[in-house]
Structure 1
Amino acid sequence: MTADNMIKTEARLRQVGLRPTRQRLALASLLFAKGDRHLTVEELHAEAADAGIDVSLATVYNTLHQFTEARMIRVLAVEGSRTYFDTNVSDHHHFFIEGRNEVLDIPLSNIAIANLPEPPEGMEIANVDVVIRLREKTV
């Protein structure tokens, strides 16, 4: 990570109220360096290991959840046991390719959602996630 990127990452963490620890800086650097993407805790942990960053799987998990609470990323549950973290926090939807475990963005403008129910008193709709599951065509 360049010195300029390190300064920007540190400022971003401070802006959302997170202390820029060595591990948070390293994980944020890996997470946001490649643009918008979707990855699991295990995938980011593997990237960290490949980059020579010594961090436990539990630390990656906790850090991603801290980033989620700070609204730097969002959680996308597409399978019961697999959770993806999305670096694109704008309103949008997803394709999930079964068998490849791959998530792709769908622009919000491509889907219209109507007739949402009124939320219970004191609640508001935070967002609506649409996941369209795809599979390879069979011959």
Structure 2
Amino acid sequence: MVPDVEMNDDASMLNDDAVIPAAHGATHQPALTGCPWHDVNEMLQAAGLRPTRQRMALGWLLFGKGARHLTAEMLYEEATLAKVPVSLATVYNTLNQLTDAGLLRQVSVDGTKTYFDTNVSTHHHFYLENNHELVDIPDPHLMLQKMPEIPEGYEIARVDMVVRLRKKR
């Protein structure tokens, strides 16, 4: 069950899906105010994370621009340009903590490229190979026809489909 999230019109900087935690995350979602700093603080606290200065700054960069797909390196570059004093290791740690808390969704494109998605709702992606860009597939009704047999003692946690695209030659 997904908790209700109240948003006023000024809160368009965050989409509804960006603040819904995973089942193991927080059980109560704060009402968003439209103030990115306040909203990030509330999101972190609701997810059980202490709003440290670095988490707040990185959260503001992550969630202040709506739904997006970022690698740790991309966020580190944004933080550097914004004069946020963090190391790349801190960026990785923070992204993993936010993912574990259900505030981000990790999407692996191949063994070397991992994106963090601020939209944690169930959806799939196109990966534009030429641009190294991850894009949401706009069809919310996309379905797999048949799932594989699941080994005994396991359950499906999530299905991630990444459709790789490249420019025609």
Q: TM-score, normalised on structure 1?
A: 0.91
After the TM superposition, which segments of 4 or more aligned residues of structure 1 sit over 3 Å from their partners? none
- Residue 116 of structure 1 deviates from its aligned partner by 1.2
The answer as to whether partners of 2:126 and 2:135 remain within 8 angstroms in 1 is yes
The structure with more helix, counted as a fraction of residues: 1
The answer as to whether partners of 2:99 and 2:105 remain within 8 angstroms in 1 is yes
1:98 lines up with 2:145 in the alignment: no
| Equivalent in the alignment of 1:37 | 68
Q: How does 1:36-75 map to 2 (within 5 A)?
A: 36-75=67-106
Amino acid at match of 2:76: H
- In the alignment, the residues of structure 2 paired with residue 4 and residue 33 of structure 1 have an alpha-carbon distance, to the nearest angstrom, of 9
- Residue 114 of structure 1 deviates from its aligned partner by 2.4
Amino acid at match of 2:146: N
The answer as to whether partners of 2:36 and 2:64 remain within 8 angstroms in 1 is no
Unmatched runs of 5 consecutive residues or more in structure 2: 1-33
Q: Deviations over 1:43-89 (max 9, x none)?
A: 00000000010100000000000000001001111022111111110
Of the two structures, which has the highest relative contact order with CA contacts closer than 8 Å and spacing of 6 or more? Answer: 2
Give me the identity figure in percent.
54
Unmatched runs of 5 consecutive residues or more in structure 1: none
- In the alignment, the residues of structure 1 paired with residue 96 and residue 44 of structure 2 have an alpha-carbon distance, to the nearest angstrom, of 14
User: Aligned Cα RMSD in Å?
Assistant: 1.5
Amino acid at match of 1:60: V
1:117 lines up with 2:148 in the alignment: yes
Q: Deviations over 1:23-45 (max 9, x none)?
A: 00000000001111101000000
What is the number of equivalent residue pairs in this alignment? 136
Q: TM-score, normalised on structure 2?
A: 0.76
1:9 lines up with 2:40 in the alignment: yes
- Residue 125 of structure 1 deviates from its aligned partner by 1.0
- Residue 108 of structure 1 deviates from its aligned partner by 4.9
- In the alignment, the residues of structure 1 paired with residue 133 and residue 82 of structure 2 have an alpha-carbon distance, to the nearest angstrom, of 22
